[in-house]
Amino acid sequence: MSYPILVAFVLFAIAMFFTPGPNNIMLMSSGLNHGLRRTQPHLWGVVLGFSFMILIVGLGLGAVLAASPRFLAAIRYVGAAYLAFMAWQIARSGEVDAQGQSRRPFSFLEAFAFQWVNPKGWVIIAGAVSSYAALAAYPANIALMAAVAVVVGLASALTWAMFGTSLRRFVTQRRFIRIFNWAMALLLVGSLWPILAHAGEEAPVGADWRASVRHFALEHFKNPAWGYSHSVRDYELARALAREDHVALDDDVLYASAFLHDIAAFDPWNREKEGIDHADEGARIVDGVLRDTGFPMSKIERVRGAIRTHMYDRTPAGPEALYLHDADALDWLGAIGVARIMGLVDPNGGDPDGPKAVKMLEDNLRDVPPGVRSPAGRRMLPARREELARYLRELRRETGDYRTL
Q: Which of 144, 177, 202 is the last residue of a domain?
A: 202
Mean pLDDT is lowest, of 32-36, 89-93, 141-145, for 89-93
Count structural domains, the chain: 2
Residues 392 and 276 in one domain: yes
65-79, 92-106, 200-214, 367-381 — which one is most confidently predicted on average?
Answer: 367-381
Last residue of a domain, one of 202, 217, 240: 202
Q: Determine if residue 311 is left, alpha or beta; phi over 0 gives left, psi from -120 to 50 gives alpha, anything else beta.
A: beta
- Each residue of 276-323: pLDDT tens digit? 999 999 999 999 999 888 898 888 999 999 999 999 999 998 899 999
pLDDT surpassing 60 at residue 102: no
In angstroms, rounded to a whole number, what is the distance separating the alpha carbons of residues 178 and 171?
10
pLDDT of residue 142: 79
- Clarify whether residues 21 and 169 are in a common domain: yes
* One domain for residues 118 and 254: no
| Co-location of 326 and 212 in the same domain | yes
Residue 240: CATH number of its domain: 1.10.3210.50
Cis omega before residue 352 (within 30°)? yes
Residue 403: inside a domain, yes or no? no
Mean pLDDT of 108-120: 83
pTM: 0.55
* pLDDT above 70 (res 198): no
Please say if the pLDDT value at position 252 is more than 70.
yes
The answer as to whether 404 is a domain residue is no
**Same domain for 333 and 375:** yes
Model confidence at 112, pLDDT cuts 50, 70, 90, reads very high
Assigned domain for 257 exists: yes
* Residue 61 confidence class, pLDDT cut points 50, 70, 90: low
Residue 87: inside a domain, yes or no? yes
Of 177, 202, 227, which one is at a domain's C-terminal end?
202
Query: Do 331 and 242 share a domain, yes or no?
Result: yes
pLDDT at 213: 92
Percentage with pLDDT > 90 across the chain: 46
Residues 193 and 66 in one domain: yes
Shared domain check, 237 and 346 = yes
Question: Does 150 lie in the same domain as 82?
Answer: yes
Question: Does residue 96 or residue 183 have the better pLDDT?
Answer: 183
**Percentages of the chain per state (helix, strand, coil), in multiples of 5:** 75, 0, 25
| 323 and 363 assigned to the same domain | yes
The verdict on 104 and 132 lying in the same domain is yes
* Structural domain boundaries, residue 82: 3-202
CA–CA gap between residue 381 and residue 371 (Å, rounded): 10
